[in-house]
């Protein structure tokens, strides 16, 4: 059950076409009522420079809104109705296509577009956004898990395309399809983890830990703040995390449910060092205006992480979508402001469930780096 | 320049909340006017069982439409305005997020969702659909080529994520990122094309021809009906087609601009045979109700193609998204109705620019197949 909203738009070549609302009313109504019998005009207003506004109402709480923007010569139409659990769609996408093709000659339109219905307000939300705020509709068919924790909203969906998929606060995190994410993050084949001490900050889905364990490290410590993420991934993301979340104290690894900042401070005080530290925490913020607190947090983590690396150590982390060059540049700006200077390299990979190309960073302390 | 439409929706737990339109009007207006100064109520109507309808209007031709659906306890809001070429957005997505968080307590909402603005009516359309009719917003930043031919609308967009991308009649066709498409279609590494006679039906982007030529075939013949596709791909899709579209008569290939049906008939009459025939024509129709003509066309092509295969020959083609099990099943149904019986195998791959997993078919004539 959901509100269905169908959007269409038409570019009109002759501004004269938009002179009279009543012509548009008649033309559009004639087409629409073939598909929505019982549709009646509810209201029509000429709003002067703001154009024309026409409302029609019909069965199934259907409201059709038409706006004609005189300046740019554009017409927008929205068809909105309520679709109950067992009800058929009021209009199929094929019918929407037909409506478009019938309206084009009536409106003398030179360019037009239609969208499949947006399904709104249901239990299962299928719409997420990309790193650069584009709308992506997923083929989710089941919500397997949902819980609001003290830290975030944790959801696991099933998608025929991507398998089970972890979504945190409406952000794509990791799906069954995304081994490339973990392999690019850890630079599999380029880095040698055998016999190494590794620290993971975050990483609650368990995928990084699971893949690292295959490389025979000496010991991996993982610091994850949200146990609900791990418990849900243990159940629904086993394709990615294997058995490593079944036991928080393994032979050559341990998982600590804690805030990583406190533990980093403890390691700094103790003088504990690692060969690799992974930053697998929250995403880089998108906004191009510096959002003080978030960048401060990123620098805070980086400064502390670099202090627990041994002299040949590396810090590896995920960046952002390549569609966000501004956010990536700002992240790289932050690196110049760190207490110890760093060299960095970048890699990228198309992550299926993100539906975009993602950037990953690898940091080396430079020769001047003090330990 | 485009019409921007921002959709939000709220599930309300207490139906009593929806009793009075004027309470909702006051609450929502109070939040919205912080972000859209000068927003005024334009109309409010109680439509009984159909719920409440409120319109506000404001600067920049802004019209806000709110509908409260009493039965399911849902509220939908649409904020629509015109954004000129050089103008800032009326609301950033961060502001939309803030509006959502302010409205949740006011509306006693237990579930809510917001979408980034749909940018409608501009020259560059960024919205395409998946095989199962989901909305996908691409990061297109340039329309490199557009022409309406006698056969279809041919467009080439540039995307930072996928590179240059061929779009035919608003359907994703092939992008720079999609070598996996061609490699899965041709089953690279599993089939041996060396010294073989190959026929391509369609394939106007040139990618299949280009990759096949690397495998040292004896000769490849390509039958493509739309020269505009080839001319535009030659210019903008060189990453995929290399130099093979520069000359339609190569050393070991030729491209014939023609309807493949006529040529298939000619080959059948002549007794010309091929080791491989590729079907790289229009997509399988999505609809689950048999659309007579389209399935007839698919069977027609298959029947003719099988007749020009030699006794160990194979027919290879693309199928549909795995999100369309019904359409795939119907396609496989058609195979039982062919004049000569076929065995088939399936492969699949995630095609980056399609943003979905795609199915490919390989057909063998069965032992009973007559030649």
Under 8 Å between Cβ of A116 and A104: no
B344-359 pLDDT, tens digit each: 999 999 999 999 999 9
Q: How far apart are CA B165 and CA B151, in angstroms?
A: 19
| Residue of chain B with shortest Cα separation from A350 | B352
| SS3 category, A196 | coil
The partner residue sitting opposite B3, judged by closest CB among A3, A5, A9, is A9
A174-203 pLDDT, tens digit each: 999 999 999 999 999 999 999 999 999 999
Q: Please give the radius of gyration of chain A, using alpha carbons only, rounded to the nearest integer.
A: 27
Query: Do the strands B118-120 and B2-12 form a parallel or antiparallel pair, or are they unpaired?
Result: antiparallel
Q: How far apart are CA B190 and CA B344, in angstroms?
A: 15
Q: How far apart are CA B302 and CA B294, in angstroms?
A: 12
Q: How far apart are CA B266 and CA B260, in angstroms?
A: 10
Fold of the A123-174 domain:
Spermidine Synthase; Chain: A, domain 2 (2.30.140)
Average pLDDT over residues A77-106: 95
For an interface test with B, give the residue of A81, A111, A141, A355 to mutate (most B CBs within 10 A).
A355
Looking at the complex, report in whole angstroms how far the Cα of residue B264 sits from the nearest Cα belonging to chain A.
32
For A92, phi then psi, to 5°, come to -80, 165
- Residue A283 makes CB contacts below 8 A (sequence gap 6+) with A131, A171, A318, A320
Q: How many CB atoms lie within 10 A of CB A143?
A: 14
Under 8 Å between Cβ of A255 and A248: yes
Is residue A288 predicted with pLDDT exceeding 50?
Answer: no
Looking at the complex, report in whole angstroms how far the Cα of residue A295 sits from the nearest Cα belonging to chain B.
17
What is the pLDDT, as a whole number, of residue B281?
85
Are A355 and B136 within 8 A, CB to CB?
A: yes
Under 8 Å between Cβ of A205 and A240: yes
Query: Do the strands A219-224 and A253-257 form a parallel or antiparallel pair, or are they unpaired?
Result: parallel
Are A3 and B74 within 8 A, CB to CB?
A: yes
| SS3 category, B256 | strand
Which H/E stretch holds residue B110?
A: strand B109-114
Q: How many CB atoms lie within 10 A of CB B265?
A: 14
Q: Compute the CA torsion angle A90, A94, A99, A105 (nearest 10 deg).
A: 180
Q: Beta partners for A276? A: A198, A314
Alpha helices in B214-324 (DSSP H): 227-236, 238-241, 260-270, 292-307
Average pLDDT over residues B96-117: 95
Under 8 Å between Cβ of B4 and B118: yes
For an interface test with A, give the residue of B135, B285, B349 to mutate (most A CBs within 10 A).
B135
Catalytic positions of A are 280
Q: What percent of chain A has pLDDT over 90?
A: 79
List Cα–Cα distances, B370 to A79, A123, B263, B366, in angstroms. Answer: 55, 55, 21, 9
| SS3 category, B20 | coil
Q: How far apart are CA A222 and CA A203, in angstroms?
A: 7
Query: What's domain B2-119's superfamily in CATH?
Result: Sirohaem synthase, central domain (3.30.160.110)
For A203, phi then psi, to 5°, come to 75, 30
Are B121 and A11 within 8 A, CB to CB?
A: yes
Are B63 and A67 within 8 A, CB to CB?
A: yes
Closest-CA residue to A71 (of A111, A116, A12):
A12
* Active-site residue, selected from the candidate residues B176, B226, B275, B280: B280
Under 8 Å between Cβ of B81 and B62: yes
Looking at the complex, report in whole angstroms how far the Cα of residue B325 sits from the nearest Cα belonging to chain A.
10
**What's the full length of chain B, in residues?**
371
Q: Beta partners for A171? A: A168
The structural architecture, per CATH, of the domain B124-173 is Roll (2.30)
What is the pLDDT, as a whole number, of residue B286?
42
Q: How far apart are CA A301 and CA A318, in angstroms?
A: 14
Q: How far apart are CA A321 and CA A324, in angstroms?
A: 6
The yes-or-no answer on residue B296 being catalytic is no
Half-sphere exposure of A21 (CA within 13 A, CB side): 18
Are B61 and A50 within 8 A, CB to CB?
A: yes
A324-353 pLDDT, tens digit each: 888 899 889 988 888 887 899 999 999 999
State the DSSP code for A258.
S
Are B357 and A51 within 8 A, CB to CB?
A: no
What is the pLDDT, as a whole number, of residue A21?
82
What is the pLDDT, as a whole number, of residue A289?
45
Q: How far apart are CA A276 and CA B33, in angstroms?
A: 50
Average pLDDT over residues B61-89: 94
Q: How far apart are CA B206 and CA B200, in angstroms?
A: 10
Q: How far apart are CA A145 and CA B123, in angstroms?
A: 41
B187-221 pLDDT, tens digit each: 999 999 999 999 999 999 999 999 999 999 999 99
For B126, phi then psi, to 5°, come to -100, 0
The partner residue sitting opposite A116, judged by closest CB among B125, B129, B161, is B129
What is the pLDDT, as a whole number, of residue A292?
63
Q: At what angle are helices B325-335 and B292-307 packed, to 10 degrees?
A: 50
pLDDT band at A369 (very low <50, low <70, confident <90, very high): low
Under 8 Å between Cβ of B159 and B172: no
Q: How far apart are CA A108 and CA A305, in angstroms?
A: 62
Is residue A287 predicted with pLDDT exceeding 80?
Answer: no
pLDDT band at A286 (very low <50, low <70, confident <90, very high): very low
What is the pLDDT, as a whole number, of residue B310?
93
Q: How far apart are CA A11 and CA A20, in angstroms?
A: 16
| SS3 category, A43 | strand
- Residue A88 makes CB contacts below 8 A (sequence gap 6+) with none
Is residue B17 predicted with pLDDT exceeding 90?
Answer: no
Is residue B184 predicted with pLDDT exceeding 70?
Answer: yes
Question: A91-105, A165-179, A247-261, B6-20 — which is least confidently predicted?
Answer: B6-20
Give the residue with greater pLDDT, B326 vs A282.
Answer: B326
Question: A208-212, A367-371, B157-161, B290-294 — which is least confidently predicted?
Answer: A367-371
Tokens of A21: 């609302």
Please name the residue that has the structure tokens 């003080």: A292
B243-302 pLDDT, tens digit each: 999 999 999 999 999 999 999 999 999 999 999 999 998 755 444 444 567 788 888 899
Tokens of B96: 């939309």
What is the pLDDT, as a whole number, of residue B230?
98
Average pLDDT over residues B304-317: 94
Q: How far apart are CA B50 and CA A171, in angstroms?
A: 34
Q: How far apart are CA B74 and CA A1, in angstroms?
A: 10
- Residue B43 makes CB contacts below 8 A (sequence gap 6+) with A43, B53, B54, B55
What is the pLDDT, as a whole number, of residue A364?
85
Are B93 and A3 within 8 A, CB to CB?
A: no
For chain B, give every domain's residue range: 2-119, 124-173, 175-365
Query: What's domain A175-365's superfamily in CATH?
Result: Vaccinia Virus protein VP39 (3.40.50.150)
Q: How far apart are CA B256 and CA B252, in angstroms?
A: 14
Average pLDDT over residues A275-302: 74
Round the average pLDDT of chain B to a whole number and report it: 92
Looking at the complex, report in whole angstroms how far the Cα of residue A168 sits from the nearest Cα belonging to chain B.
14
What is the pLDDT, as a whole number, of residue B334?
87
Q: Beta partners for B109? A: B12
Contacts of A5 in chain B (CB under 8 A): 7, 76, 78
Are A137 and B139 within 8 A, CB to CB?
A: no
Is residue B362 predicted with pLDDT exceeding 70?
Answer: yes
Is residue B21 predicted with pLDDT exceeding 90?
Answer: no
Conformation bin of residue A167: beta by default, left when phi > 0, alpha when psi is -120 to 50: beta
Closest-CA residue to A137 (of B92, B137, B79):
B137
The partner residue sitting opposite B82, judged by closest CB among A69, A82, A137, is A69
Q: How many CB atoms lie within 10 A of CB B149?
A: 14
Looking at the complex, report in whole angstroms how far the Cα of residue B30 sits from the nearest Cα belonging to chain A.
23
């Amino acid at each position: 059950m959901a509100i269905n909203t169908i959007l269409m738009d038409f570019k009109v070549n002759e501004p004269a076409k938009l002179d009279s609302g009543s012509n548009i009313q008649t033309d559009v109504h004639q087409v629409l009522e073939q598909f929505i019998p019982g549709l009646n005009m509810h209201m029509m207003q000429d709003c002067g420079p703001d154009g024309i506004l026409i409302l029609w109402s019909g069965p199934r709480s259907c409201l059709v809104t038409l706006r004609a923007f005189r300046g740019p010569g554009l017409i927008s139409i929205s068809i909105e109705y309520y679709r109950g659990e067992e009800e058929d769609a009021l209009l199929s996408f094929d019918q929407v296509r037909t409506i478009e093709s019938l309206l084009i000659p009536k409106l003398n339109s030179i360019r037009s577009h239609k969208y499949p219905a947006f399904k709104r307000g249901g239990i299962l939300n299928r719409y997420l956004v990309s790193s650069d705020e584009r709308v992506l509709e997923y083929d989710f068919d089941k919500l397997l898990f949902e819980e609001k924790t003290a830290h975030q909203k944790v959801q696991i969906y099933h998608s025929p395309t991507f398998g089970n998929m972890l979504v945190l606060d409406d952000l794509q995190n990791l799906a069954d399809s995304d081994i490339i994410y973990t392999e690019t993050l850890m630079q599999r084949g380029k880095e040698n983890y055998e016999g190494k001490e590794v620290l993971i900050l975050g990483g609650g889905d368990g995928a990084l830990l699971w893949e690292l364990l295959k490389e025979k490290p000496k010991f991996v410590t993982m610091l994850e703040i949200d146990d609900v993420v791990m418990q849900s991934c243990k159940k629904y993301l086993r394709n990615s995390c294997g058995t490593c979340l079944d036991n928080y104290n393994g032979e050559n690894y341990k998982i600590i449910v804690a805030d990583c900042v406190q533990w980093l401070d403890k390691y700094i005080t103790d003088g504990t060092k690692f060969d690799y530290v992974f930053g697998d925490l929250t995403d880089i913020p998108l906004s191009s205006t510096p959002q003080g607190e978030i960048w401060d947090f990123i620098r805070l983590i980086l400064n502390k992480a670099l202090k627990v690396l041994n002299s040949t150590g590396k810090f590896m982390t995920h960046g952002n979508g390549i569609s966000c060059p501004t956010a990536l540049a700002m992240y790289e700006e932050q690196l110049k402001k760190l207490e110890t200077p760093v060299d960095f390299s970048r890699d990228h990979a198309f992550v299926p469930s993100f539906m975009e190309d993602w950037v990953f960073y690898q940091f080396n302390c430079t020769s001047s780096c003090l330990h």
